[in-house]
Every structure is written in C-alpha cells, then in structure tokens.
Structure 1
Amino acid sequence: MRFYEDNLALGALSAVRRGISVICSAGNDGPAHTTVVNGAPWILTVGASITDRSLRGTTVLGNNVELNGESVFQLDSPPLPPQLRLLYPGMNGDFAASFCDAESLNDTSIVKGNIVLCRIESTRSRRTEQGQRVKDAGGAAMILMNMDYQGFTTSADVYAIPATNVNYEDGLTILSYLNLTSTPTATIEFKGTIFSDRKTPTVANFSARGPNYESQGILKPNLVASNNTRSNHFKMISGTSVSCPHLNGVAALIKSSHPDWSPAAIKSAIMTSADVMDRENHPIMDEEHFLADFFVIGAGHVNPARASDPALIYDIAPDEYIPYLCGLNYTSREVSKILLRRAHCSAVPIIHKGQLNYPSFAIRLGSPSQTFTRTVTNVVGKIICYERKFVEAS
C-alpha cells in the first residue's frame, strides 16, 4: 500500500509535523519476509522480542526427559500425578486430529484422566479452545506442540486445564518418545516465574519482517522491543502491539530530557543506541536461533538507558519528506494529501530514497556504486557532514 493510501501513515505525518513522535507496530505476520507494515519513514516501526523471564511449565516424560515450556496455568495444589498416560490423537497421520479437534476426542473413555498432546493452533483464542475440548473430553492435562515455523518461541496462555506450550524441537522429542514406547506417560510440573534467561532477547516468531515493500530504501522494522507474553493481574496479551507501547514510554522519557528534539531526532537516538547483542554478548537470534538479520531486528533491541545520550542524531525536518516522496514518483496532489497542505514536486530538488537523512542505509545487492550523504548532529549542536559510499556487492 502506498503511503498516501494509508490513513494511519497520513495521520502520522500530520502528528510529526506538530512535533509528536508516532510509534507503530511492525505487525504479527512473521516470520515471512516482506510482511512488515507501517513502513513510512516518519513512523518508528517496532517488532517484538522475547523477555528474559517465563512462566515455566515443564513436561516430564516417562523416560525422565524434561522439556521446559510455558503456561499461565500455575497449579499450586494438588499437583498432577507423577505420571499420566500420554495420548496423541494425530498418531495415525490424521491432520485434523493432530490439533485435537472435537471428533478426535469423541472417545472420552480413552481420553479421561490422561494427558493429551496437541499441535498448536495459530491464534490465542483457538489455543484456549483446544484446552477446553480436552477438558470436555475428560482429559487431565494438555501439551501444546508448536508448528515448525514458530521455532523456539513459546507462549504463556490461560487454559481451562493444566497445560503447557513446548517448542517445535521439544515436540519432536515427545513424538519420538511416543513412537518408541508401548505405554508412554508424562506429567507437567509448574514452576512459576523463571527469571534471567541469558539467551534473550530473541525475536518472536510472529514479529513481521522486512524488506519494506513500500520503499526498500528505508529499512524496516526500525528495531525490536520486549513482547510481554507474561503474567499480570488483569489479562494476558502479546504481540508487536505490546512491544510498541514500550517504545512510547522510551520516547516520552527522551522528550522529557530533550524537549527541543524533533520526532526524527528521538527516533534516531533510539535506533543508534540499540543493542545488537543478547545478555550473553552473542548476536541476537531469531525464533529458530539463527542470526537475526537487519530485516528482522532493524537497528537492534531498544536500550532505554542509552537512548537519552546517543552522542549523534540524524534529524529530519517534516518538509524534508517532500523531496523524498516526490522521488518515489508521487504526484504533487498525492504529496499534498499526505502533508495536508499544498506541495509542488516541481519546486523541490527530488532526492533518491536512500538520500533521506535517515539513521540507516539500505541498498539492493548487485546495485551500481552509489553515494549516500548524511548530516549528523552531536548533542551540543555541532554539525558534522560526511559521505559514505557503497560499492557494488555480489
């Protein structure tokens, strides 16, 4: 969707012109690439990462293998029996049954009192429905196995029955155990909140990815922030729509320290101070524990403590978006619609999309040699100009 057709982007630029920072979610259509939304350059676009704590629900198989998952259902007393018979309705290759549909659970005499393995459905409401179906069939507990595209991302959901969500790899371990054991058993041990996961942050599987379809010269998402899949006193929510408010708070803190900074300066400060390493000082990983590239994390994971003192900022005045938009072949009428005032492309020097004074660079591999110029401003107002040249890559 072109920027001028997107009412959110149109309204966002109007807000930026009034000095208001606009922060939006990258979207929840990951992990496929080119799924990022809210790609206008005047918007700070935020993806979702996993926090360093989890609500632990550990699956203990009959062979004593322990597999850590997540669940809001934290059973204090009485605990589940040491071992229950483990069932998997999809053992015969029935795809619908693997999701524990109602028909697969019809024989309540088999399900009753046992623990059931189900492949996870996509949405939170459907996942909680799975738990209700197992409960209605008399099941004592449920293990939800991720799909392969979800990687190591797990979710802490509220279930009507003792349950836990395990990642895809651990789900394969359970399936292997089922195939090799004549009388498979399992139980779930609920261990409360576990803190200080050293491998975080990692990117959530649903966090939308670039490149930015609307303008590939603008890197999106801009960065990632914590996605709160954990417990609070009221309800459970997760997604990039939850990571987004974290950045609103960071932007407000920066504005309180630097009231004269523009929205572009605040965005620049957040991006250039972001972390690209996890708590173990290793590069941030994606949901499959592969290196998260720039189309996944943008500039990195937000670091609020550093964002108020970024040393240098890349600033953009609202009117500087006019030559950028004209360079994208928008008509004067379309640009006027975005700006909510008259603009004439013939009256401005049109610039290449990569020439916007943006705190990142993007160039298609195999492109001819190009030169991009940026103007950076330090915290005491001294202007430094320099050129950075990108040569052809293969």
Structure 2
Amino acid sequence: MVGALSGDPRHILLAGGGHAHAVALRQLAKQTLPADIRLTLVSPTTHNLYSGALPGVIAGHWKADSIGVPLQPLCDAANVQFVQDRLVSIEPDSRTARLESGKRVTFDLASLDIGSGIRPLDVPDALDVIGPIRPIGPFLDRWQKALAEIKAGSAPPSIIVVGAGLAGIEVGLAIHYRLQQEGIAAPSIHLVDAGSDIAGSSSPALRRKLARAMRRANINLILQTRIQTIQDGTVLLTSGESLETSLVVNCAGSAPHGWIGQSGLNTVDGRVEVDASLRSTSHPHIWAAGDTSYFKAKPLEPAGVFAVRAGPVIAENIGRYAQNSGLSEFHPQSDYLKLISLGSQRAVAEKFGVALEAGWLWHLKKKIDFSFLREHNLTPGH
C-alpha cells in the first residue's frame, strides 16, 4: 500500500498535474507545513503541458518542449513525493484510490486536478484519422505525422477541425498558418460544427472578429453538420458533402473522465460538484478543481484561467487543513481577458463584450503564457 490512512503522518494525495496543482505546488514551495503532513502527487506525465501555448506549437512559433512545466522539480521544492502513474478510480468512503499500475493509494485528503478528455466523435476510424486535441502529447505526435505526410506529398493538404468553439477556431487558424509556412500554397482547412454559429457562448464582437480572421484564411466553415463516416481518408458529412483529409482534429468539447461518475461522489455532467472551498459536496475530504470540477456556487466554463486561479486556494487550504483551521473560499472573476491567437503573429482580445485585434496582442499573449511557464519551471537554468 502507498500512503497511510488517518495515521501519522496525515497523507494528502494530489491527483493530476494540471494547471491548478502546478500553481498549488509553486505556492506550497513557499510554505512550511507541519511534520505530520505528507503529500504525494500522482500524474501520468512528468510535465504539465500548458494548453494556452499549444496553438503556438501547432503554428510553429515555438517547440513543444518549451510549453511543458516539469513536475518533479516543483514536487522537490514543495517536499512532495512524485509518482508517475494515472488515477483510474477512487473510493471516497474508504479514502482509497487505484492507479493504472494496479497500486492502491490511501489518503486522508485528496485533491483532484486530472483535467478532462475530448468528447468522442463516435465514428469508426480504422486508419486512425481522428486526432483528439487532448491529451496534448499524443495529439502533437499525430499532428507532426500528418504534417510530414503532407510535406512529402503522400497525404492531401486538407485538414478537418471538428468544433467551432474558441479552441477549434484557434487550432484551425494555427494549422492554416503552419501549412503555408511549410510551403503549402493553398491548404484546405475545414471547420465543422453541429451548431448554428461559431464560438456560441462568446460575445457578438468576438465572434465577428474571429469570423473575419477565418474568411481571410479561406477556412471553410461548415455549420449544422456532423461527420457521418470516414473511409480511406475520405470524410462523409451529414450534409452529403465528402472531403479528403489527412487528419481530423477533434476539438468537439471537453468530456470528463468516465470513472468520476461511478465514484459515488456527487457529480454534475460527470464532474465533481464542489462547494465554495472546492470541496466535494458529498465528501468534503475530496477536493476538485479545473475541468474535473463543477463549481456549484457559479457554474464555470472549461477554461484554464479558472484552474490557474484555483491553485493558490488549494495551496492555502492545504495549509489551513494542516493547522485544523477553517478553509478559504474560491472567488472566480465574473469575466476575464480572452486572448485568441490567429495563426500568424496577431491575436484578438475580448473582455466585457469589447473585442480588439492587433499584432501587439499576440505578443502580450506570448508574454503572459511564457511568464507562467518560467515561474513554474524550477529546473536549473530557468
């Protein structure tokens, strides 16, 4: 058995190395916890890949290894044991978690920041044409493979992106820019969505800016349509249209990990329902943040900014738990600055319904993203 159940020391399990836990570890490194507190971070990967900087990797502005936050140095600085493994189930009543390796971890307190997957398209895909945007590492491998095939002329310079939300638009524009930079004169990028509009939850001003950017890039927007079948690299849409493609990028929206709904925790749409202190509403010794959670006080859209802002609350509350004190509350902002890159070195910013496009906004986004990465990269030389 890994860990100790309600013994000495008390064991805190941090499940997942997402944005919230990366920030919490950085904050915990500045604290001194009592000797009877022991922490373990379990993550399937050694690096937290920062999703906000992913479009820049796709577009070729920077390398994939520049957007990873190494978890081991963060754990070392915070006196946290790092275990590379994946959480596959949790038993909240017995305070036990099971890992993919078969090991079982007991805990007194657990914090879940395991992110989410992508809603599957439920389309047979014998040739592995579909590449979900998450997990990020496997997606980048699939993207590099498609890019190499397109450059070699063994695959058509045609990519389908499913999902016309902010992520799908940003990815589609990044792919278009990258293909042009690689010498593909007229790449075909198709953005497919079952809805009737792009970025449906965004302000009209932001949607107009993004629509103009897609028109400039000649991205083929296909709304109120789904993928019906994929056969021999040809995609048949429910509209009856058929498209050749080398890759279908699935940005169809986040989907919680299936085992959460089977855990016995209170859930909403498959996510752990949490109170104002990020505690499970059914099991207060289980905490959750980011895409893993459903914030009961004010439902939040899946966005990395909320996970990042939850990190200091988790760190503070670990300290309060260690001192047997009352917990602080999470107060997410009512609106936040959205920065969406447009493939080239331009970006759109939106807040309070006002949208602006400019080159300097791309540099602002880059500065913000890499400031986060530098702050949380504790390897020597950083």
TM-score bracket relative to the smaller structure: under 0.3
Q: Point out the structure with the larger strand share.
A: 2
The normalised TM-score by structure 1 is: 0.26
The normalised TM-score by structure 2 is: 0.27
